[in-house]
Structure 1
């Protein structure tokens, strides 16, 4: 019998930057949360009401460092800024294998990233953590 619930292995991500796929071999975790901006009214003749307006997505992912792909990406983003004053953005695709066997694909657009890295230590696997912001998340399939 197939697993009736989503588990961590059911998710994979792909990062595109300036149209090029970045080979992040061993993504070990991924999370994303919707951000909202609360708009609130307190009418004199009624109860308070609040509306949550979509305001992007913030998330993190972690990789077990298997190559320099992420370091190279961050270096190229930084170089583009210092050499030409351009700040690039990317796209993250999240693929989720659903318990019914179908795949849901989510596209995070206008992504900006910040690299956080575990310390380099003897006999210690290096994990790189990325904090990202995306303007939108859209269901592709």
Structure 2
């Protein structure tokens, strides 16, 4: 809109260790991500402080309107696997952005571990809003 990216220009695909997490695109109401960094400082004998900023993964949150049992079922399987001693593998998130100039940008978050932070409040005449947090080892530009 007016040369700027808006939320509906973005689509998200969630691939878990169990396969595609089929959350409806209409159900995802918010996706936020931010890089994690480790900062260091070193003071040389010359008295000058030199700083370093090291990439240290990504984290974020998906806000999802509950339109089915997909998230609840996914987390129930994660819990069952954990208590059965199954090794829970990481997944990926693919973020696709329709750019204002007509191009496509695509980023893949790798080494993703999901954390179902909020199953939602069940209140009369209110939408049930859920939150799925994630931590990722990297974000790689794929297109």
TM above 0.5, yes or no, is yes
Cα shift at 1:106: 0.7
Does the 8 Å contact 1:64/1:128 carry over to 2? yes
Aligned residue pairs, count? 140
Q: State the partner residue of 1:9.
A: 8
Runs of at least 5 residues in structure 1 that lack an aligned partner in the other structure:
none
Q: Which runs of 4+ in 1 moved over 3 A?
A: none
TM normalised by structure 2 equals: 0.92
Question: Which runs of no fewer than 5 residues in structure 2 stay unpaired?
Answer: none
- Deviations along 1:59-96, one digit per CA (max 9) or x if unpaired, are 00111110111111111112111102422221111111
Q: Does 1:33 align with 2:37?
A: no
Taking only aligned residues, the RMSD between alpha carbons, in angstroms, comes to 1.3
* Distance apart, 1:19 and its partner CA: 5.9
Q: What's the secondary structure of 1:84's corresponding residue?
A: coil
The TM-score, its normalising length taken from structure 1, stands at: 0.93
The residue number in structure 1 matching 2:60 is 59
